Amino acid sequence: MKKTTKIIAIILSALMLVSVFTACNKKTDKKEKTPEVTEEVKELDPELNLSGTIPDGGAYHSVSGEVVGSTNGETQDFPKTLEYGDKFYYGDYNYIYSDGSITDGHKGWVAETDKKDQESYGKLLESINGAPVISINACFKDCVNLKYSPKIPETVYSMASAYSGCTSLVQTPIFPESLINMPKCFSGCMSLTMSSDIPESVEDMSEAFYQCTNLIKAPVIPASVKNMKSAFAFCFSLEGEVTVNADPENYDKCFDGTMNKFTLTGDTKLKAELAATSSVENITY
């Protein structure tokens, strides 16, 4: 009898264990809902990305001779097609459309201003009638009263001579990651003491900081740079460390006319050659 009772107890214990195990499995098999991951879409600022209706005060001059604009509440739409040479006037700027033939294959708008005596300028547009603003070449050239630049559109690839001769400029803008060309960008900007970071997309820095006589700290030169001809020539105040990660194809007179002692650092294999571009033996590496 005792033996039978013991067997029954063992069977009951086993059944209880099976029941508990089954219940646990049901809990673990229950799938939790995974939250949906949605990619954040950056909304375009309608004030800087113009399409459809021309904003009040804007004037579009097509190469065919047609002039359309919106004034005093009477609105007109942008033309349906873009042609090389089309012009759009809005705010402080004139924008000229390029089909790529004069902009290294890049299609879009080139911004410029003929107002050279202002201390500040309005926002640059990012796109017009569906096409991006791609260049500010010589846009602010010789704007001698300009101290601070407006924001540069992320679509800009070229800033050649953009601020050349801006003798009052005290701060460089944040460069767009799309930037490739910046020759003579800050040539003669004698009030600059330092620069924003140079994007790793930049290839041409020839004469970029030529005669920036008060430039104390040079930006890091990324590996992408191919042309550093006279990039820091006559930067009398340059000091500390200059980090160069590029092996440029052209570095002629890169540090010509520099006076203070400074040290070349970085991944470049051309430290000796770059140091030799200064005639006063002020560069160590």
Q: What is the pLDDT of residues 240-249, one digit of tens each?
A: 999 999 999 9
Cα–Cα distance for residue pair 266/245, rounded to 1 Å: 5
Q: Which residue has the higher pLDDT, 68 or 217?
A: 217
Residue 34 has pLDDT above 50, yes or no: no
pLDDT-based confidence at residue 68 (cuts at 50, 70, 90): confident
User: Considering only 4-8, 139-143, 158-162, which range has the smallest mean pLDDT?
Assistant: 4-8
The answer to whether 119 touches 145, Cβ cutoff 8 Å, is yes
- Phi first, then psi, for residue 275 (nearest 5°) are -65, -35
Average pLDDT, the chain: 88
Determine the pLDDT at residue 97.
Answer: 98
**Half-sphere exposure of residue 102, counting CA atoms within 13 Å on the CB side?**
9
Map tokens 């042609």 to a residue: 83
User: The dihedral of CA 80, 58, 127, 135: what is its sign?
Assistant: positive
Residue 188 has pLDDT above 70, yes or no: yes
Q: How many CB atoms lie within 10 A of CB 6?
A: 10
Residue 130 has pLDDT above 70, yes or no: yes
Segment 100-129 shows an average pLDDT of 97
Segment 29-50 shows an average pLDDT of 56
Determine the pLDDT at residue 267.
Answer: 99
Cα–Cα distance for residue pair 250/260, rounded to 1 Å: 23
Residue 17 has pLDDT above 60, yes or no: no
Distance of alpha carbon 187 from the chain centroid: 19
Determine the pLDDT at residue 249.
Answer: 98
pTM of the model: 0.83
**Half-sphere exposure of residue 185, counting CA atoms within 13 Å on the CB side?**
30
Segment 130-134 shows an average pLDDT of 97
Residue 87, Cβ density class (10 Å: 0-12 exposed, 13-18 middle, ≥19 buried): middle
Q: Which residue has the higher pLDDT, 237 or 39?
A: 237
Which of 101, 122, 209, 110 has its CA nearest to residue 156? 110
